[in-house]
A and B are shown apart, each in its own frame.
Chain A
Amino acid sequence: MTTRGEIFARIRAGIGRDDALDDEKARELIDRLESPKRNLVPARSDLDRTRLVDLFVSMAEEAAATVQRVSHAGAIPRAVVSYLARHNLPMRVTMAPDSSLDRIPWKLEPMLALRQGKADPADEVSLTAAFAGIAESGTLMVISGAHHPSTLNLLPDSHMVVLHENQIVGAYEDGWDLLRRAQGDGEKRLPRTVLFVTGPSRSADIEQTIQMGAHGPRRLHILLVADYVGQGRQAS
């Protein structure tokens, strides 16, 4: 017997079933996988849009992210530059090759040097979009792909993220629904990574004292845009 076969035989012996499931039961379980049902979702994020956005902001800030609300995408370049200046960071940003970020009028800030691509170990600041914001815990839902190299979320010391208010949903389950809808009937598998980010990197491994920036970014800055009216792949 193969190792695999042996393991399955032991599991089934423990369960008290000789063989695989009968068809009816298997059908039931396959349905459970193919049309996943929600379990209990906390009522915390069951709010109207304004309060949902407020909840996202307060939870993100509680997790030590900083949130800057801007009225429209045209205000982003200014906000980026002033953030970099405030933290004494170089005017060099590595940006995700994301069409929604391309549409931002970067030429308004000629001093800002943008490079698109994956992160280089020497990069100090990255700028990416997010797939969604999860209000219940102030979490960014970030997916990898051609438009979003994972390294941008992790290697630079400062990570800036553009999120539009109408991308904010209540619960993780809402995020999964959005993703399944965005994938449509074509791609059945998830992106290589779906990353939920709640605040900047930290560690309490030395004397149970929390310190920011253990391996990932020391700073997580969210640029929250109020008037998103594009046709991105995100929330409608």
Chain B
Amino acid sequence: MADEKPNVALFATCLVDLFRPTVGFAAARLLEDAGCEVSVPHVQTCCGQPAYNNGDRKDTRRIAAKVIKAFAGYDYVVAPSGSCAAMIRRHYPELFKDDPKRAEAAQDLADRTYELVSFITDVRGRRAVVARHDGSCTYHDSCSGLRELGVREQPRTLLRSVFGLDLHELPDSDVCCGFGGTFCVKYPEISNRMVEEKVKNVQETGAEMLLAGDLGCLMNIWGKLRRDGVDIQVRHVAEVLAGMLDRPPIGEIKPKRDVPSWPPASASVQD
């Protein structure tokens, strides 16, 4: 077997980039442990879903063109999000279906793009991780990953390999949490009703920690749990799989002293 390491571009996604860099580091560690060479292209921003799902097809195509360029030349592009990976895998080719040249590039990127956990299992063939967590967890299936990419058993398989972890199935784990991108602010009352149901089910499991593969859903469910005063920790599944539990869970961190000054010194862009 060739020992060559595939060159993987980590697409952190805009939410991880802004709100929870821990997920990005966890993803990088998982990819490295799975024998990949990890790069983080600095020109990455967002996959374009907010424009796409609000009917702005023209801007979506422009954004997609940028993303296609940003991730050219890598063996794989991996995102710790079923939603953003599905946007590239399932929707980019369709965006350019009347533009054969770009369609080809979009299809090429689509074929190389994966959601993190399914990439580790399905492409890198890993059935287990080396990690430990003494506690109970439950797992929410984010809609896009589940239905557009078939991510269902993969995270459960890997979670079962975590030493000490007790996995409780979440009732109606496949029902939307109500995030839905801009849906949660366009129809907040309905979104709230959906996340109420989700929180009820999460509590029913008795688990100490909720996991999922998409930060949007996690922020939504976390936000509701905290508003209701429910003390269940919330983390991205990659954090547990990568053994990065030394960092505090979502929304428990006080911003560090190193909050960047404005303008941030590190913000010069080279590539």
Is A in direct contact with B (CB under 8 Å) within the complex? no
Q: Which residues of B contact A (CB under 8 A)?
A: none
